[in-house]
Chains A and B, each alone.
Chain A
Amino acid sequence: DSGVTQTPKHLITATGQRVTLRCSPRSGDLSVYWYQQSLDQGLQFLIQYYNGEERAKGNILERFSAQQFPDLHSELNLSSLELGDSALYFCASSDGQGTNQPQHFGDGTRLSIL
């Protein structure tokens, strides 16, 4: 158990819809990272938050947004969903904001777009 909790585990929805994925980091961790994992693209970094502020942005679409709340949990919002958004979405957390801080991953949310 990594201590990172992601909900829901599975999500099935239709094209054009909007969903919210939730992540609770390990106790004490201030950084939250979001990744998208698909068969063709592999593990792609989306965005990082540190103590409530955006720290780094990766290959995140404009239709996607995220935030980190004062209690440090984070949400990833995906809107105007397309078939290609079907993927496994991971959240990871670390206690610092540099890459010398190992990231601890949740079990992911599997998003299926019908």
Chain B
Amino acid sequence: AQSVTQPDTHITVSEGASLELRCNYSYGATPYLFWYVQSPGQGLQLLLKYFSGDTLVQGIKGFEAEFKRSQSSFNLRKPSVHWSDAAEYFCAVGAPGYSTLTFGKGTMLLVSP
């Protein structure tokens, strides 16, 4: 079975600074990887996904993520954070032939002025 670890429960970043949220997965082959964002009182919104091919994927809202097979990681990045990015971010992994995703515990992003 696959698993996901998001090592940071909370991260505080100054507005305008760069951001990197970490995600490590456990799976024997190349999984399907996702990042979702959850704003207060709302459901999860898909930011980006990786299935195969180019290991750097672009998503919505200026986010990107890089798949690194050697490190079993799929870290989310943004070059300049805006106050509206404050939310909780979830990494998720799926496997070919399976129908369910496994979500990490989430990382809460706080943006300071």
CB proximity to A under 8 Å, residues B37-65 = 41-46, 49, 51
Write the chain A residue with the least CB distance to B36.
A105
Q: Which of A4, A97, A103, A106 contacts B101 (CB 8 A)?
A: A103
- Number of residues on chain A facing chain B (CB within 8 A): 25
Supplied contacts A48-B99, A99-B99, A104-B46, 16 more A-B pairs, CB within 8 Å: A2-B43, A31-B99, A42-B103, A42-B104, A42-B105, A43-B44, A45-B100, A45-B102, A50-B99, A56-B100, A90-B44, A99-B95, A103-B101, A105-B36, A107-B42, A108-B42
Question: Contact residues of A with B, CB < 8 Å?
Answer: 2, 4, 31, 33, 42-43, 45, 48, 50, 55-56, 58, 90, 92, 97-100, 102-108
* 27 examples of A-B residue contacts, CB within 8 angstroms: A2-B45, A4-B43, A42-B105, A43-B90, A45-B100, A45-B101, A45-B102, A56-B98, A58-B100, A90-B44, A92-B43, A97-B99, A98-B94, A98-B96, A98-B98, A98-B99, A99-B95, A99-B98, A99-B99, A100-B32, A100-B94, A102-B49, A103-B46, A105-B36, A105-B45, A107-B41, A107-B43
